[in-house]
Chains A and B, each alone.
Chain A
Amino acid sequence: MGHKNTFKNMFKAALTAAAFFLLLFANTGLRANHAEHCENPDVKPSNEVMHHITDNHNWHIASFPVGKCESGETEYFHLEIPLPWLIYNSEKGIQFFMSSAAHENGYEIAEGELYLLGQAPEEEANHGGPEVLEAIEEAAEEHAGVEVEPHGPTILDFSLTRTSFQMILIGLVLLLIFMAVAKGYKKNEDHAPKGIQSFMEPIVMFVRDDIARVYLGKKADKYTPYLLTLFFFIWFSNLLGLTPFNSNIAGSTSVTIALALITFILILANSTKDFWLHIFWFPGVPVPIKFLMMIVEMIGLIVKPTALAIRLFANITAGHFMVLSLISLIFILGKNGAVPAAGWGTAPVAVAFTTAIFALEMIVAIIQAYVFALLTAVFIGQAMETHDHDHDDHH
Chain B
Amino acid sequence: MEALAGAGIGAGLAAIGAGIGIGRLAGSAVEGIARQPEAAGEIRGNMILTAAFVEGVALFAEVVCLLIALG
Q: A residues bordering B, Cβ < 8 Å?
A: 210, 214, 307, 310-311, 313-315, 318, 367, 370-371, 374-375, 378
Contacts and interface: CB of A to CB of B under 8 A. Distances in A.
| B-side interface mostly | helix
A214 B49 CA distance: 13
7 contacts: A307-B53, A310-B60, A310-B63, A311-B59, A318-B62, A367-B48, A370-B48
B17 to A, nearest CB: 15
Contacts of B53: 307
Contacts of B48: 367, 370-371, 374
A374 B60 contact: no
Contacts of A375: 49, 52
Contacts of A310: 56, 59-60, 63
A314 B49 contact: no
- Of A210, A214, A311, A313, the most chain B CB neighbours within 10 A belong to A311
A374 B53 CA distance: 12
Contact of A210 (B45, B62, B63): B45
B55 to A, nearest CB: 7
Contacts of B59: 310-311, 314-315
A371 B60 CA distance: 16
Residue of B52, B59, B62, B63 with highest tally of chain A CB at under 10 A:
B52
Contacts of A374: 45, 48-49, 52
A311 B56 contact: yes
Contacts of B63: 310, 313-314
Interface string B18-53: 000000000000000000000000000100110011
